[in-house]
Structure 1
Amino acid sequence: MPLDRSNRLYIFASSDRPDPYVNVLVHALSTYPLVEVRFIGIREHEYSNEQVDGRVNATLTAVYARLEELASGLSGEDYSPSVDMNGRALYRTCLEKLEDVQVGASVISWPELDQRLGRLAAHGRPMFDVTTLKKNLLMDVVALLLSRDCSDVFNFELLKAPNYDERDLIHALRPNEYKYRSIAESRHIEAARRRMVSRSMTFRSIAWLTLAITGIVAAVQIFFPNGWGQAAVTVIATATSIAAWLYFFRRENIS
C-alpha cells in the first residue's frame, strides 16, 4: 500500500482485551499516514441486552488506558518486568499520533453490514483490521469487502507461539515474530477473486449475447414475418442462446 496517501483505519472489535488493538495501533500509526481510526462493533442480534455500543466504547477506553500504562513503563502484570525505555517511547509516540487523528467508535447492525461497508469502502483510503473479529463475522466482512474490490483488509498475526501476556505486545516482539498481513495476499484468496471475476464476465457476456440474439430475432420477425429466413434465424438464434447458457452452467458445475 502506498504511504503517500491518507488512510482511514477501521478496526472491527470483538474482543474486550486491549492488547491486540495496542499492537495494531502501534504498527499502523508508525507505518501509514492515518487521518482516522474508528473502532467498529457489529450488532448480530437486536437483543435489548446485547449492548454492543457500550462494549465498543469500553474497549476504546481500555485501549487508551493500556497505552498510557505501557508508556509509563508499567506492565500491569506481576510476573513481567516493567517496559524498557524503547518500549515506553514506542507507546508514547503512538499516543501522540492518536492526538492528531480522528478517533471514534460506532456500531453496525448485521443486516446493514453490506450497505455500511460499501459506504466505508467508498470514502477516502480505507483500511480494515479484522484481527479480533469473530469467525462467523470475519467471513461475512472479508467476503463483502473483497466483492467490492477492497483488498486492504489486514490481520495482526503472531509468527510464534502466543504467551497470552505482555510478551505478545509489540515492544517485546522481534520483527520476525509478527506480520501485519494483508488477507488479500493469500494465493487462495487471489485465486478465488480471479474465479469470481471470470464467472461474472462470462455471465455478462452470455447475457449480452442473449439480448443481442433476441433483438435480431425480433427484427427478423417484424421485417420478414413469413419467410424461410425467419424460421432459420429463429432456430439458429435459439440454439446458440441455449448452447451458451448450457456451457455456462456446465462450467459452474465442473468448477
Structure 2
Amino acid sequence: MKNLYIFVTSNRPDQYLNSSVHCILNEGVNRIVFVKITFSDSDVSLNMLRQNVINLLDNLSKVIYKFYTGDRAGETEDLNKIYQQTELIIMKTKYEQCLLDHISWETKIINYTEIKSYIASCKKQFKNSIFDVSGISKTFLGDIFACCLVEDIQNLYTFELKIKEDYTHPWIMLIHALQKDKQYNYVN
C-alpha cells in the first residue's frame, strides 16, 4: 500500500484532485488521506472536501465539470462542448481509474501541536508515503517542511501549474488538460 497525505486548507476540491490523480496514475498510490491541521479539535468541513473531490472525479469521468466555490457554485459545465472526442475518451478513462474500489479516500484532522508526531507516525507505518503541500496555507507550510526535514522524509511534493490560472474555465487547470503539453510539474 502506498499512501498520499494531502495537507489541506481550502474546501475547493480542484487543487487536491490534480495531486490525487497524478499519484494514483503515476506513483502507484492507493490510499489518499486529506489532512487538515487545526488549532481546535473539531472541523466538519474535511469530510465534505473528501466527498467533493470524489464527486468532482465522478463528474469528470462523465465529462461534466461542477463548480464548488465562487459565483458559479453548484453550476455545471458540459465538457462535451469543449473537448474533442479523443480528448473526452482519455479524460473519462483517466478519472474512472481513480474511482476504482481499491483506492481508499480518508480524512484526518490533527491539532497543530501534533504535526511532527503525525508525520513521524506516517513515515514509520508506511515508509514510502508521499506528502503533498500543494494547497496548504503558508501558516503551516514551514512547520510541515521542518518536520519532514527532521524526520528525513524525501517525498514532500507540490503540484505546480505552468499556465496562468483561469477560474472562469477551471477545468483547463485540471490534470487531464495539463497533461497534454506537460503544463505542470509535480515538484519535490
**Normalising to structure 2: TM-score of the pair?**
0.83
SS in 2 for 1:34: coil
Q: Tell me which residue corresponds to 2:176.
A: 171
Q: Deviations over 1:163-185 (max 9, x none)?
A: 12111011111343101111xxx
Structure 2 distance, partners of 1:62, 1:35, is: 18
Confirm or deny that 1:129 pairs with 2:135: no
Match of 1:67 among 54, 57, 75: 57
Percent identity over paired residues: 25
Please give the secondary structure, in 2, of the residue aligned with 1:131: strand
Unmatched 5+ residue regions in structure 1?
A: 1-5, 183-255
- Counting only pairs closer than 5 Å after superposition, residues 74-153 of structure 1 correspond to structure 2 as 74-76=64-66, 77-78=76-77, 81=81, 84-96=88-100, 99-124=101-126, 125-153=128-156
Superposition pairs for residues 186-205 of structure 1, below 5 Å? none
1:163 match: secondary structure: coil
**2:21, 2:95 within 8 Å by CA — same for their partners in 1?**
yes
2:134 aligned counterpart, secondary structure: coil
Distance 2:24 2:106 in 1: 15
What is the count of residue pairs matched by the alignment?
A: 170
Alpha carbons of 1:35 and 1:72: their partners in 2 closer, same or farther (altered >3 Å)?
A: closer
SS of the equivalent of 2:135 reads coil
Please identify which structure carries the higher helix content: 1
Higher relative contact order (Cα pairs below 8 Å, separated by 6+ residues): 2
* Structure 1 position 103, deviation (Å): 2.4
Residue 22 of structure 2 corresponds to which residue in structure 1? 27
5+ residue gaps in structure 2?
Answer: 67-75
Give me the whole-angstrom Cα distance separating, in 2, the residues matched to 1:46 and 1:30. Answer: 35
1:18 pairs with 2:22: no
Letter in 2 for 1:129: D
CA shift for structure 1 position 143: 1.0
What do the CA deviations read for 1:107-145 (whole angstroms, capped 9, x no partner)? 110011111111112122211011100001011101111
1:7 equivalent to 2:2? Answer yes
Deviation track 1:70-128 (CA, whole Å, cap 9, x = no partner) reads 101112344963562211111111112xx213321111100111111111121222110
Contact 1:73 1:82 in 2 (8 A): no
Q: Give 3-state SS (helix, strand or coil) of 1:86's partner.
A: helix
